[in-house]
Amino acid sequence: MDPVALACLILGLVLALIVLRVPVGFALGVAASIGLLLFFSWRPGSAFDLARGLRPTLSILTSTPFEFISNYELSMIPLFIALGHVAYAAGITTDLYSALRIWLARIPGGLALASVVGCAGFSAITGSSVACASAMGKIAVPEMLKYRYDARLATGAVAAGGTLGSLIPPSLLFVIYAIFTEQSVKNLFLAGIVPGILSLAGYMITIWVWSKLRPSHAPAPEELTFAPDVRRRALVNTWPVIVLLAVIIVGIYGGFFTPTEAAAVSLSLAVVIGFLRRHLTVASLIEALRETLLQTSMIFLIAIGAKLFVSFVSLTRVSPTFLDWLQGTHAPLILIVAAIVLLYLVLGMFLDSIGILVLTLPFTVPLIEGYHLDLVWFGVVVVKLLEIGLMTPPIGLNVFVIKSVSPPGVTLEAIFKGVSWFLLLDIVVLLLILLFPSLSLFVPATAY
């Protein structure tokens, strides 16, 4: 069977399984297994021979998962996930939001601003958008609704702020992207800093403009007035966040730690800080580690299925064939980039971020390399597109997460209307990243 035709057939099978709600990891693994068996058993110009294809297929199915899981850089994924859960259980992220709430509550949209900045701080610790949206949604959404914030602003701000976990380092999506494209995790983490700050600043401007245009949507409650000593005490209580941020960002940027070492050191510090402040108990630590195990298992299952799928795609050489055809059409670079952006935007409406990432990289990365574009810059572009996908209907994952932690009266329609304001800002930031690659590449170029 022609390898290119087989690759197209298997890709169709993957999409069909996903449409049937088969988990992405299983869909990729099953489709890749069938594709490998057909590839080795049904060579072009020869009859189908199952016995001939069975041994190499089983060899790949047994060796590839082991080789992939033994990758040292993968160890930072459970470490950063555990850091997020431990920091939440120890009240570290809650203290950050409480301090921001006290300092910003009296200005227009202050509680929403506190929520978004709190999301940024949480993101810089855990690296997971869904975890950030879930944790901050439980704290911030009821608080804003209590003080008569419009439900669209309250939920939209947290749903949008939660997406910062994908871009602000450490980002689990950057880790997965780095492993599949053989790029430096450190460079990708650093490349996400400026775009992450731009996104955060844009969200804050959006809230400020919203609050100015519609003051009734973001009232400044008279009862939220705090004495100077309360404000100072709240600010002092944020020191654990500052310490953890210094270990992760300053440690990686200054060359003191590798990303994996930064994850291990910051997790150890979070545990020690939690016990010293008596906010973390043995029971809550065990629960945090249990949640870490569940989330890590899910990610690794998807990654193993994706690695098998990548192995199959590499054997069929469909990506080089498609690249040769595309270059033969002499299509302008701007059209290629626009098509890739459109692909991610459309897929973001229906699939989760990790599924999109592992499904598309075998096809988009060869295109980017063929046009001699920087893969670190492309990684930032892809992650920004995945951020947007977390808020776009009909399957905006962060929207559904916020719905699950919001009071019963909050509707999905209200949340989608709320995030639409922030989606406009995201498009602006995306265009800036596309037009000015130096926004992503400047920080990695100056690091040690």
Predicted local distance difference test score (pLDDT) of residue 25: 83
Domain total in the chain: 2
- Span 374-403, average pLDDT: 86
Please enumerate, as own/partner, the contacts of 65-74 that have beta carbons within 8 Å and a separation of 24 or more: 65/304, 65/307, 65/308, 68/303, 68/304, 68/307, 69/300, 69/304, 71/179, 72/260, 73/175, 73/178, 73/179, 73/185, 73/259, 73/260, 74/175, 74/179, 74/300, 74/303
Which of 149, 145, 115, 146 lies closest to 132, judged by CA? 115
How buried is 205 (Cβ within 10 angstroms: 0-12 exposed, 13-18 middle, 19+ buried)?
exposed
Both 32 and 134 in one domain: the answer is no
- Span 93-112, average pLDDT: 80
Which of 160, 117, 112, 121 lies closest to 140, judged by CA? 112
Task: Give the angle subtended at the CA of 159 by the CAs of 240 and 237, to the nearest 5°.
Answer: 15
269 within some domain = yes
CA 200/CA 283 separation, integer angstroms: 35
Which of 160, 171, 151 lies closest to 113, judged by CA? 160
**At which of 9, 35, 70 does a domain end?**
70
Handedness of CA 423, 424, 429, 434 (dihedral sign): positive
pLDDT band per the 50, 70, 90 thresholds, residue 221: low
Predicted local distance difference test score (pLDDT) of residue 345: 86
378 within some domain = no
Predicted local distance difference test score (pLDDT) of residue 223: 60
Both 57 and 129 in one domain: the answer is no
Predicted local distance difference test score (pLDDT) of residue 225: 67
35-44, 131-140, 233-242, 265-274: segment of lowest average pLDDT: 131-140
State which residues form the domain around 5: 1-70
**At which of 70, 99, 114 does a domain end?**
70
Residue 1 has pLDDT above 80, yes or no: no
Alpha helix locations (H) across 237-317? 239-245, 251-253, 259-276, 282-316
Both 115 and 43 in one domain: the answer is no
CA 175/CA 385 separation, integer angstroms: 16
Both 61 and 78 in one domain: the answer is no
Predicted local distance difference test score (pLDDT) of residue 378: 94
107 within some domain = yes
429 within some domain = no
Predicted local distance difference test score (pLDDT) of residue 432: 94
Predicted local distance difference test score (pLDDT) of residue 272: 92
- What is the pTM assigned to this prediction? 0.84
Both 78 and 201 in one domain: the answer is yes
Q: How confident is the prediction for the chain on average, in pLDDT?
A: 84
**At which of 70, 94, 113 does a domain end?**
70
324 within some domain = no
- Span 158-187, average pLDDT: 85
CA 197/CA 130 separation, integer angstroms: 19
Residue 349 has pLDDT above 90, yes or no: no
Predicted local distance difference test score (pLDDT) of residue 401: 81
20-29, 35-44, 215-224: segment of lowest average pLDDT: 215-224
- Span 28-52, average pLDDT: 84
Predicted local distance difference test score (pLDDT) of residue 224: 64
Sequence-separated (6 or more) residues with CB below 8 Å from residue 213:
none
Predicted local distance difference test score (pLDDT) of residue 222: 65
Chain position carrying tokens 């490349």: 191
Tokens of 225: 């007035």
Asked if 383 and 171 touch (Cβ cutoff 8 Å), the reply is yes
Both 102 and 114 in one domain: the answer is yes
Both 56 and 83 in one domain: the answer is no
213 within some domain = yes
